[in-house]
Amino acid sequence: MSTLKVTAFPWVPPFAQGLVRDLRVRWACEEAGLPYEQVLLQGDDQKSASYRAKQPFGQVPVLEDGDFSLFESAAIVFYIAEKSGKLMPAGLQDRARTVSGMFAALNSVEPHITQLNVIDLFNPDKEWAKLRRPEQEQVVRGRLASLSTWFGDRQYWVGDSFTIADLLLVTVLRNLRHTKILADYPNLQAYRDRGESRPAFQRALAAQMANFG
């Protein structure tokens, strides 16, 4: 059996360190007990035709499993769950709930947080960003309030088992770390903390951060 390989960056700016999406893949591998190696992109690797053939947008992560390669971090963690038989519950309906959680994380929550981060991290001094920020924070808060109400006192998205829905949603919520917003939704903050305190997450984070010196 070949060792899985995941692409990553040798350096990113401090605001992105610990958030780059290869973290999701590392975390899934650690949870599933599948060994992996990282492949650091150097120089213009991102722009090369051979890399673009594997990732059309020149981004990380790409997973390679022997001759097979896959892009999109959510598809990759789904593949790792399928391959390992872990991180997904048994049963049609619980599996469907897990997929629902994956889409909720990436389609209903992450885009709004991304918009806030476009303002806070990439354009903090721009006039348009200052004008837009209060409303964008309200949009994020609206999503978190709805999610918090629905989530209630759950431990994880589906029952008591950690799944790839949790893995994705925790990494999405981490993207608010430069703000104090999550503190206003204690059950979501506790959920994020629960995810981050998992030993597999800590190993994954340490492996990504080790690249940044």
Ligand X SMILES: N[C@@H](CCC(=O)N[C@@H](CS)C(=O)NCC(=O)O)C(=O)O
Positions touching ligand X (CB under 6 A) are 20-21, 58-61, 72-73
DSSP string for 45-90: GGGSHHHHHH-TT--S-EEEETTEEEESHHHHHHHHHHHHT-SS-S
Alpha helices in the chain (DSSP H): 22-32, 49-54, 73-84, 92-103, 110-117, 127-151, 164-173, 186-196, 199-210
Q: Smallest distance from the beta carbon of 53 to ligand X, in angstroms? A: 16
Compare residues 58 and 121 and give the one whose CB is closer to ligand X: 58
Compare residues 185 and 205 and give the one whose CB is closer to ligand X: 205
Q: Smallest distance from the beta carbon of 119 to ligand X, in angstroms? A: 17
Q: Smallest distance from the beta carbon of 54 to ligand X, in angstroms? A: 12
Compare residues 122 and 193 and give the one whose CB is closer to ligand X: 122
Q: Which two tokens stand for residue 97?
A: 């709930």
Closest CA to 98 of 38, 162, 16: 162
Q: Which two tokens stand for residue 160?
A: 């008591």
Residue nearest to ligand X (CB): 59
Cα dihedral sign for 36, 37, 38, 44?
negative
Q: Smallest distance from the beta carbon of 153 to ligand X, in angstroms? A: 30
Compare residues 148 and 174 and give the one whose CB is closer to ligand X: 174
Q: State whether residue 119 is helix, strand or coil.
A: helix
Compare residues 58 and 212 and give the one whose CB is closer to ligand X: 58
Q: Smallest distance from the beta carbon of 140 to ligand X, in angstroms? A: 19
